[in-house]
Structure 1
């Protein structure tokens, strides 16, 4: 029975992670541990809190690498020019699905699109989906190209 609640708990953890990562992005000098300590976790289940913290710390630690992926595969959209909510949703999906591989990439993209629709602009869902789709296709093409040359 608890298994059926897992997607909802993970979604809640992603919502929290998005909010805290957003604050880290817009408040210069704010560190992850400080931002986490400011969030009112008292009403959250421990599994939600721990997954949110894992996402926050992992995404933030890999921020430069993720932004480099965005710069490499998306022409005309530098990370610093993106709507912050969209950028954070993209970073979160790339961390969770591509770097950490804690969920399938399709799930990470779907969740990022939902977060962007909920917290972003009218166009955020489509934008996030398009950016992630292009990056993932490019990464998969490179990976399969690497495998072809090894044979």
Structure 2
């Protein structure tokens, strides 16, 4: 499975986990029958490090609270920040580009600009 597809499926699985009391395996099972370690790592990593990710995002958000963000943007940001903070295999530039492309597919026309604005603060550190 290509990484873009895994990130899109991770978004969908995390969205389900946000809305339902189900296990990570069930959430992934609802979005794909394929087994993919990158997908599983993204979903479980975001869940495992959610407090740290959310604390980091809260510092970067200007005039926004995490709870006010639309779920799509919040979930895209969580996935990207997980990759930026806890994995070293993908360059930051690629992580940000992937987040922008996914937010264009699943969000509205303003989503990718907002996501870019927040994630660009991670590259300035």
TM-score over 0.5 for the alignment? yes
Paired residue secondary structure (2:2): helix
Aligned residues: 125
Alpha-carbon distance in 1 for matches of 2:42, 2:90: 12
Q: TM-score, normalised by structure 2?
A: 0.90
Aligned-pair CA distance for 1:26: 2.5
Match of 1:94 among 81, 101, 104: 81
Q: TM-score, normalised by structure 1?
A: 0.76
Match of 2:8 among 12, 15, 24: 15
When the two chains are superposed, the root-mean-square deviation of aligned CA atoms in Å is 1.6
Alpha-carbon distance in 1 for matches of 2:121, 2:84: 14
4+ runs deviating over 6 angstroms: none
Bigger radius of gyration: 1
Q: Which residue of 1 aligns with 2:107?
A: 120
Match of 1:78 among 54, 65, 75: 65
> Which one has a larger percent helix, Structure 1 or Structure 2?
1
**Structure 2: runs of 5 or more not aligned:** none
Q: Which residue of 1 aligns with 2:24?
A: 32
Match of 1:107 among 89, 94, 111: 94
Alpha-carbon distance in 1 for matches of 2:50, 2:44: 10
